[in-house]
Amino acid sequence: MEDKKTPFSALTVRNYRYFLTAQVISLTGTWMHQAAQSWLVYDLTHSPLYLGYTGAVLSLPILLFTLFGGILADRFPKKSILILTQFLSIFPPLLLGILTLSHTVSVWQVLLVAFMMGSINSIDIPARQSFLIEMVGRGYLLNAIALHSASFHGSRMLGPVIAGLLISSIGLPYCFLINALSFIPVVVVLRKMDITERMRKSKDILSDFREGLGFIRHNRVIRRLLFTIMIFSIFGMPYNHFLPYFAEDVFHKGARGLGLLMGGGGTGALLAALTLAIKGDIKNKRRYIIVASLIFPFALISFAVTKNFLLGIFFLMVAGFSLVSLLATANSFIQLKVPDELRGRVMSVFSFLFLGMVPIGSFTLGYLAEYMGTSQMLVISGIVCLVAAVVHTANR
């Protein structure tokens, strides 16, 4: 059955409605944390290279562990996995908040906390991605993904703005402490959720892993789409880690400017997710993906070369809109093509390429930014993404 074309139809499902509400709270805290963490690293080092390191360390565990997380998601109840990961997520930001509040924080501790958070996320993400269809069913899947993206990117818009205000008023440590508290509602909602999960008989881990990769290898359309997402993950997505440089050294707007820049990207992303949620379904998902993949590189290049702050926010809005349009539609396109018993593993590969490649990109782009300039680096990144989008279009 295809996705039903009713706006916000997934909200009619009680479990999903409560889960999404709790996610909005948690994700707002997470984006507050990300903005504050970037500002803290730049304040400690004044180095775009270390901004790249931070993004890389946060995403490195996804590269290392998320495929294993997908195997766990297909073997064990996803709700139980999510309760554990959300509970564990309380402690890294709590630690960073205490260190920052006591004025004993150093950059290696920030990197360690980022690695801890990334490790928890590497198990959480494939379970959460594949749990959506168990909450709402196949008919509401695109709508649920779109609403989930809306909550993610609405929080991405709101969280950094709140962080900028908190940093300039009561202090940076409180962004981390509030983030620690924000995971509690998700744990409560998941524990109260009444849902029956189907368990499957497991083979050995290596056989499970080969089975998931074999499905992707023999599906040409999904294979090419995943390759395009990988390129965008390496060269496009890490741009967010370098925004403190633009806020401070290009636009001279400080912490509040960083919040507005990150909020601009989040606004575009939110609008994209709401557009998908209102539409209910996209008839020609592949064409929608192609158009979005062509727009994003132009927006990224335009942001890299502009010296006008308001134009910069606008180009980030366009980048956020096109990137989320690409990723959310690709997510639902892939999930609807995958058998239920393989969904956790295939979505772990999606997460591996979508998020796990970011550390490679962050390291690479951090070095390029250090030696050729951050603006020039983003121009090159945009060109690479544009080439990948053109190749994907040509092989349609």
DSSP 262-314: HHHHHHHHHHHHHHHHHH---SSHHHHHHHHHHHHHHHHHHHHH---HHHHHH
Residue 360 and residue 365: Cα distance in Å, rounded?
A: 8
The residue among 279, 287, 363 whose CA lies nearest residue 49 is 363
d(CA 141, CA 6) in angstroms, rounded, equals: 12
Distance CA 88, CA 329 (A): 30
| Nearest-angstrom CA–CA distance, 253 and 243 | 11
- Domain boundaries of the chain, sorted by first residue: 9-195+202-394
pLDDT (tens digit, 9 = 90+) per residue, 180-214? 999 999 999 999 887 766 555 555 666 766 776 77
Other C-beta atoms closer than 10 Å to the C-beta of 361 total: 26
**pLDDT given at position 1:** 41
| Under-70 pLDDT residues of the chain | 1-7, 153, 196-206, 208-209, 212, 280-282, 340-341, 343-344, 394-396
How high is the pLDDT of residue 2? Answer: 44
Q: Residue 216 and residue 212: Cα distance in Å, rounded?
A: 7
Q: What's the confidence (pLDDT) of residue 208?
A: 67
Tens digit of pLDDT for each residue in 230-244? 899 889 888 887 888
Tell me, what's the pLDDT at 202?
Answer: 57
- In this prediction, residue 281 carries a pLDDT of 61
> What's the CA dihedral at 190, 116, 180, 122 to 10 degrees?
-30
Q: Do residues 229 and 350 make contact, with C-beta atoms less than 8 angstroms apart?
A: yes
Structure-block tokens of residue 380:
């090159």
CATH code: domain 9-195+202-394 is 1.20.1250.20
d(CA 286, CA 164): 38
pLDDT at position 298 is: 94
The residues, any chain, with a CB within 8 Å of residue 87's CB and separated by 6 or more, are 183, 187
CB distance 258 to 164 below 8 Å? yes
